[in-house]
Amino acid sequence: MRIYRQIFLTSRFFVVGSAAVVLFAFSFTVHWLFPLGQFLLIALLTASLADILLLFNKNRTFEVKRHLPSIMTLGDENHIEILVRNTSKLKVWLTVIDELPCQFQIRDLKFEAALGNDEETLLKYEVTPVKRGEYNFGNINLFVQSTLGLISRKITVDRHTMVKVYPSIVQMKKFELKSGPSHQLNEGIKRRRRIGHSYEFDQVKEYVIGDDSRSINWKASSRRGSLMVNQYEEERSQQVYSIIDKSRSMHMPFNGLTLLDYSINTSLVISNVVLQKHDKAGLITFSDKIGSVIPADKNSQQLRKILEALYNEKEHVLEAEYELLYHLVRNVIKHRSLIFLYTNFESLHAFERVLPILRQISKLHLLVVMFFENDAVAGMSKNPVSDIMGIYEQTMARKYLHEKNQIVSELTNHGIACIKSVPSELSLNTINKYLELKARGMI
């Protein structure tokens, strides 16, 4: 039975077979066509049998390998390669179908190639995961045809592989390079002017043109007989926490990813930058109950702990309990820290409910509220309208934008830093804010 499941009739077989059957049918009315129709049917069956013998020869073998990344990253293009080598002496035509994980919902991915004796081909494609978790790749199916092209043989190659999709390590590496001293003038990462001397003392050195005259050490200068200046370096070991709201309001999708996933990617990016700056990175997630809690640290395993915690985060369908967050912050974060809170306020009323708690947290720590702006709604508010439904949609869009601006004003009036960002620029805006606050000596 197995060999029958491997045999498929091709379109060429049906074309020739249909012609032979039609001709054979007409031969019952036109008797001189009967021998010709009979000959075509016998020739078709004979050629098909010969094609089967060619394809199912034991020497018809193929080497098939799939090259996958050890882990895939969320929201990025991940490159996959399939290497197929014809080890037989027969030239064949191949159709290659890879069984992709169900999360991609791709059912039409196939490749076609012609391979001669001992030839190989490298097939490449990209996939973009939009959910974290385990992705199971299945078999690789080869549909093989000979020169006759009447029969197609299916060869199933067992290449079952499980790959985990983690938060975007690609973005983390990209912003790590851009946030370095030699790249801070690139687009998106801005160098901030240092204000004051809220830095650790490093050394006394000889004055050179360009040094800050306010840093001149007059006592050392009088002893040395030449101008000497104090040199400072950035304070290190400061605590920076990423706090992620993973409640219902963070389920909204943008370009395939949810707001929660954007926040997770950004938390990984900023944690890496913080550790590169020799500060301490920490993580807290919450909804109607507390999720992951990783105290701020800068040891060599800290980024791995944060990455694993972010990988395992799941959405919650209930509203966030900010009272729980406040008590957790009081009990876990003992020293003044920089806190990036990733959340989303669906309405002005929802914001007013949590504002008193945000004010209490901001008295203890330097709080930066990161919430989202819907650029599609912004575009809708500016589009020309021509009917009542369009007027209604535009009015609601403008009301939504007005409430977002009111939230920014309320936070600013209460001395709470905030950033309203489109999801695609969240990582960029977070890093810029961290570098700005660090340069101003506010943490």
19 has a pLDDT exceeding 80: no
1 has a pLDDT exceeding 50: no
pLDDT tens, position by position, 193-252: 444 444 555 677 787 777 777 778 888 788 888 888 876 655 567 899 999 999 998 988
Q: How confident is the model at residue 42 (pLDDT cuts 50, 70, 90)?
A: confident
Integer Cα distance of 246 and 285 in angstroms? 7
What pLDDT, on a 0 to 100 scale, did the predictor assign at position 65? 94
37 has a pLDDT exceeding 70: no
CA proximity to 180, closest of 440, 437, 431, 429? 431
What pLDDT, on a 0 to 100 scale, did the predictor assign at position 183? 46
Q: How confident is the model at residue 26 (pLDDT cuts 50, 70, 90)?
A: low
What pLDDT, on a 0 to 100 scale, did the predictor assign at position 236? 65
pLDDT tens, position by position, 238-297: 899 999 999 998 988 888 899 999 999 999 999 999 999 889 999 999 999 999 999 999
pLDDT tens, position by position, 339-394: 999 999 888 888 999 999 999 999 999 999 999 988 777 777 777 877 888 888 78
What pLDDT, on a 0 to 100 scale, did the predictor assign at position 323? 94
What pLDDT, on a 0 to 100 scale, did the predictor assign at position 224? 80
- Compute the chain's Rg from CA coordinates: 33
